[in-house]
Amino acid sequence: MNIKTNSGLLIALATSLFFTTCVKDNDYTVPQNLGVEENLKLEAILDSIQNNQLELKSIKDLKNLYNSGTDPVKIVSNIVVKGYVISSDAKGNYFREFYIQDAPENPTAGIKVVLNLTNSYNKFNFGREVYIRLKNLYIGETNSGDGVISIGGKIKLTDITEIESITQNQIENYIFRAPTTEVIVPKTVTLGGLDNTANIGTFVRIENANFSTNLAGKAFVDPSEDFDTKRQIETCEGPSIVTTFLETSSFASFANNALPAGGGSINAVVSRDFRGDFTVLVLNNLDDLDMKNTRCTPLAIADFSTILLNEDFEATSGEINILDWTNYSEAGSKKWRAYDDANSLSKATRMGSFRSGDESTITWLITKGINLETTGEEYLSFETSTSFADGSILEVLISENWNGTVANITNANWVALPARIAANNDDFNNFKFSTFINLSTYSGTAYIAFKYIGNGNEDFDGTYELDNITIIAK
C-alpha cells in the first residue's frame, strides 16, 4: 500500500468516525427532567391555594355536594381536593378507577376517581398524595344509586344520571401528583360497623375474619360469573357471626386462586357492589390477606344471662319520655317519638325531619346510664329501619364521661360505635339488626346515644326507626 492509499483510507476512517457520534439509538438514560414539569404545575396549584385563588376542599365536604341517586353535579368553582391513593389495579382487581382517602391514617372519608387509564397503579401508586382540580369535572356515581360517590370527567352519553371516566387527555390537566408517597395505615373496623357510609372509599382492616365454611376449596371468582364475584366473609362478634362480602373481579390475576381456609386479617378498600345493595370489601392484592390462623367461633349466647338494658318501646307514646333517658333536640324542632310499626306490629320509636321547615336537625336519644363495672363482657344490640334516609344519618355513640345533664351533652366525649344501621337502600319494611357491639373496652357508667343528623336540607332528610335496644352481659 502506498502513502496515497493510506491517507485515503485514513480520510475515510476519519469520516466514518465523525458519523459515529450522530446515531445514539440505544441511549436509555433515565430522563433528567422526569416529573419536573409536573412538580411545577403542582407548586402553582399549592400557591393558588395559599393565595385563595383555589379552595382546598376536604373529601367529606366534596361528597356532601352530591346525594346518591341524583343527577351528577358539575363542579363550576375553583376547588381542589387532596387525597391519598389507597387502591391499586396492579393485580387487575380494579379497572379504570382508583380510590383516595383524606388521610394516610384514620381517614374520615374517601372517594372514587374514575379515569380512562389502565394500570394506573404505576402512576397513581398506593399511598401517593394527589390533588385533583375539580372545576369542569363531575361528582356523581358510575352506577346511579350505588352509593359510591365518584369524581368523573363527564356525564355518560347514554345515561344522564351517571358519570364516566376522566379521559387520558384530561388526566394531566386535572390530576396532579405530589412527590410524596405516604404509608397507608389501614383503619381497623368491625364488620358490624363496616356499613357506615363514611367508610366507603377508605382502606380498612378487618381482624379475626374468615371465609364462610361453605366456600371451602372455592376460588375468589366463581367461573360462572362474567364480572365480579362476592364471597361471604365472617367475623365473630360475641355470641354471633357477622358477615359481609369480599368482591373480586374476574379480571384479577388472583381470581382463580383458592380462598384461604384459615382466619386472620383482611386489608381492603370499602365499596359497594354493582347494584349498590351491599357494602363490599375489595382487595388490592393477596398480600392484603393474612389468614393463616384459626377460624373464629362465636361465644355461647346462653352464658350471657345478665340483661343490663332492654327497651322495646311498647310502653311509650308521643315524644319518647322514659325514666332516666334523654330525648334532646340539639337543633331543629323534631324529637324522637313513639309509633306503631305496621310491619312488626309492635311499638317502636322514630325520628325524622322531612318537611319540618327546620334549617338544621340534630336530635339525641340517650339511654339511662349503664353500669359496666359489675360484668366482664357486654354486648349492645338494637334494630333500625329507615324511610328515605337520603341525606340524614343515624349514629350510635357511647360516652363514659357524660354527667347526664342536657347542658353537657355536647361537651361530653362521645365515641361512635360500629353498628349496622339501616340505610337508604335497605328495604324499608324490615328492621335491621345492629349486630352485637362489644362494650368490654368501656368502663364505669356509660350512656348509649342515638343521634339523628339531618344534612342541612330537610328535603333530603328522612326518617329512622329504632327498636329493641338491649345490652347483654356476663
CB within 8 A of 141, min separation 6: which ones?
68, 69, 72, 147, 148, 149, 150, 161, 162, 163
Nearer to another protein, 119 or 440 (CB): 119
Q: Which is nearer to another protein, 22 or 315 (CB)?
A: 22
Q: Is 27 in the site for another protein (CB under 8 A)?
A: yes
Which stretch in 19-27, 298-306, 347-355, 392-400 sits in contact with another protein by CB under 8 A? 19-27
State yes or no: residue 3 binds another protein (CB under 8 A). no
Burial 40-55 (b: 16+ CB within 10 A, else e): ebbeebbebbeeeebe
Site for another protein in 109-148 (CB under 8 A): 116-119, 121-123, 125-127
Q: Which stretch binds another protein (CB under 8 A): 30-38, 70-78, 231-239, 319-327?
A: 30-38
Closest separation in Å from C-beta 167 to another protein: 6
Nearer to another protein, 154 or 368 (CB): 154
x/- letters, 51..90, toward another protein (CB under 8 A):
---------------------------------------x
Please name the helix (run of DSSP H) or strand (run of DSSP E) that holds residue 1, with its range, or none. Answer: none
**Least spacing, CB of residue 253 vs another protein, in Å:** 7
Report, in Å, the least distance between residue 11 CB and another protein. Answer: 7
Cβ atoms within 10 Å, residue 25: 5
Closest approach of Cβ 43 to another protein, in Å? 18
Least Cβ distance, residue 99 to another protein (angstroms): 16
Beta 240-249 vs 279-282: how paired, if at all? parallel
The one-letter amino acid code at 472 reads I
The torsion region of residue 211 among left (phi > 0), alpha (psi -120 to 50) and beta comes to beta
Q: Could you tell me how many residues of this chain bind another protein (CB under 8 A)?
A: 48
Q: Say how far apart CA 143 and CA 195 lie, in whole Å.
A: 18
**Minimal distance, residue 163 CB to another protein, in Å:** 14
Q: Is residue 75 within 8 Å of residue 135, measured between CB atoms?
A: yes
∠ Cα 269 270 272 (to 5°): 130
Handedness of CA 85, 90, 91, 97 (dihedral sign): positive
Contact 253, 209 (CB under 8 A): no
Who contacts 325 (Cβ-Cβ below 8 Å, separation ≥6)?
365, 366, 367, 368
C-alpha cell at 60: 367529606
287 binds another protein per the rule CB under 8 A? no
> Considering only residues 49, 71, 92, 375, which one is a binding residue for another protein as defined by CB under 8 A?
92
Nearest residue (CB) to another protein, 257 versus 356: 257
CA atoms within 13 A on the CB side of 468: 14
Of residues 241-260, those binding another protein (CB under 8 A): 253-257
Binding flags for another protein, 151-170, as an x/- string (CB under 8 A): ---x--x---------xxx-
Least distance in Å: CB of 111 to another protein? 22
- The answer to whether the beta carbons of residues 258 and 225 sit under 8 Å apart is no
- 22 touches another protein by CB under 8 A: yes
Using the minimum distance from each CB to another protein, give the nearer residue, 97 or 311. Answer: 97
**DSSP symbol at 300:** P
Q: Any contact of residue 32 with another protein (CB under 8 A)?
A: yes
Indicate the residue among 51 and 224 with the shorter CB distance to another protein: 224
Which one, of 16, 99, 24, lies nearest residue 63 by Cα? 99
User: Residue 10, Cα to own-chain centre: how many angstroms?
Assistant: 74
Would you give the binding string for another protein spanning residues 306-335, x where CB under 8 A is met? Answer: ------------------------------
Supply the minimum distance, in Å, between the C-beta of residue 437 and another protein: 37
> Tell me, what amino acid is at 241?
I
Q: Is 183 in the site for another protein (CB under 8 A)?
A: no
- Report helix, strand or coil for 347: strand
Q: Which of 433, 442, 315 is nearest to 376 (CA)?
A: 442
CA distance to 208, 237, 377, per residue, from 304 (Å): 21, 13, 9
177 or 335, CB closer to another protein? 177
Identify which of residues 177 and 350 has a Cβ nearer to another protein in the complex: 177
| Residue type at position 96 | R
d(CA 80, CA 446): 41
447 binds another protein (CB under 8 A): no
- Chain residues that interact with another protein, rule: CB under 8 A: 1, 4-5, 8-9, 11-13, 15-16, 19-20, 22-32, 34-35, 90, 92, 116-119, 121-123, 125-127, 154, 157, 167-169, 181, 253-257
